């Protein structure tokens, strides 16, 4: 969701805008918060932090400028800062706060990077969607060439085409795919 899309929704109905914002970014925000505070927080603490983040985004986002960019970076920054503040607050409350705990938190709170996994999954879904939008035979050629690592000759035989035609279609399809991905903010 871009800033402009969010602003249009907000102009229609603030409730619709909040619901769309929550639907779009809930998993992302939850992953960030969980990754930062799961070691010392209860589920209620995590849920409260996520709610606070969405409230801050909803009330703090400026809806009067031209913002055609994604909201993800803005929301991610707020989520990370709020989660760190929640961690410190919870640590103080539970009397476990010390400089050692703060140093440990800063280095690596978990072996699992939920946020990174979520970003990769989202990127893969967008990539597959954009490949499918290429249509046939381009989508099949791209998948066979770059996912299954088949040669142009193997693809040509499989699709009853000439190898040179497969190479030409692959090059054109790849350029189309790059432009399509760039339009949604994914650069390769």
Running DSSP on this structure, what letter comes out for residue 2? B
Alpha carbons within 13 angstroms on the beta-carbon side of residue 14 total 6
CA max distance for the chain: 71
Query: Is 188 inside a domain boundary?
Result: no
Per-residue pLDDT tens over the stretch 18-41: 888 888 888 889 999 988 888 888
Residue after which a domain boundary falls, among 57, 89, 112: 112
Query: Is 93 inside a domain boundary?
Result: yes
- pLDDT greater at residue 9 or residue 79: 79
Where does the pLDDT of residue 117 fall: very low under 50, low under 70, confident under 90, or very high at 90 and above?
Answer: confident
Claim to verify: residue 10 and residue 75 sit in the same structural domain: yes
Query: Is 91 inside a domain boundary?
Result: yes
Q: Highest mean pLDDT range out of 106-110, 112-116, 146-150?
A: 146-150
Residue after which a domain boundary falls, among 62, 79, 112: 112
Claim to verify: residue 55 and residue 87 sit in the same structural domain: yes
Claim to verify: residue 93 and residue 60 sit in the same structural domain: yes
Per-residue pLDDT tens over the stretch 33-90: 988 888 888 888 888 998 888 888 877 776 545 455 677 888 888 899 999 888 888 8
Claim to verify: residue 123 and residue 108 sit in the same structural domain: no
Distance CA 97, CA 91 (A): 5
Claim to verify: residue 81 and residue 100 sit in the same structural domain: yes
Where does the pLDDT of residue 97 fall: very low under 50, low under 70, confident under 90, or very high at 90 and above?
Answer: very low
Distance CA 175, CA 132 (A): 14
Domain holding 143: CATH number? 1.10.10.10
Distance CA 99, CA 46 (A): 23
Average pLDDT of the residues of the chain = 80
First to last CA, the chain: 21
Domain count across the chain:
2
Q: What is the domain range of residue 62?
A: 3-112
Claim to verify: residue 25 and residue 62 sit in the same structural domain: yes
């Amino acid at each position: 969701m871009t800033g402009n899309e969010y602003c249009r929704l907000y102009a229609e109905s603030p409730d619709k805008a909040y619901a769309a914002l929550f639907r779009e970014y809930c998993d992302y925000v939850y992953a960030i918060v969980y990754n930062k505070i799961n070691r010392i927080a209860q589920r209620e603490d995590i849920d409260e932090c996520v709610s606070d983040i969405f409230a801050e985004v909803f009330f703090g986002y400026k809806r009067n400028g031209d913002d055609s960019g994604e909201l993800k970076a803005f929301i991610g920054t707020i989520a990370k800062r709020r989660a760190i503040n929640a961690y410190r607050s919870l640590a103080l409350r539970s009397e476990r706060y010390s400089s050692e705990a703060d140093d440990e938190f800063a280095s690596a709170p978990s072996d699992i990077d939920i946020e990174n996994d979520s970003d990769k999954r989202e990127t893969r879904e967008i990539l597959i969607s954009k490949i499918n939008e290429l249509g046939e035979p381009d989508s099949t050629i791209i998948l066979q060439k770059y996912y299954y690592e088949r040669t142009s000759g193997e693809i040509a035989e499989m699709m009853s085409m000439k190898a040179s035609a497969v190479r030409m279609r692959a090059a054109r399809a790849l350029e189309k795919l790059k432009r399509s991905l760039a339009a949604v903010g994914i650069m390769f």
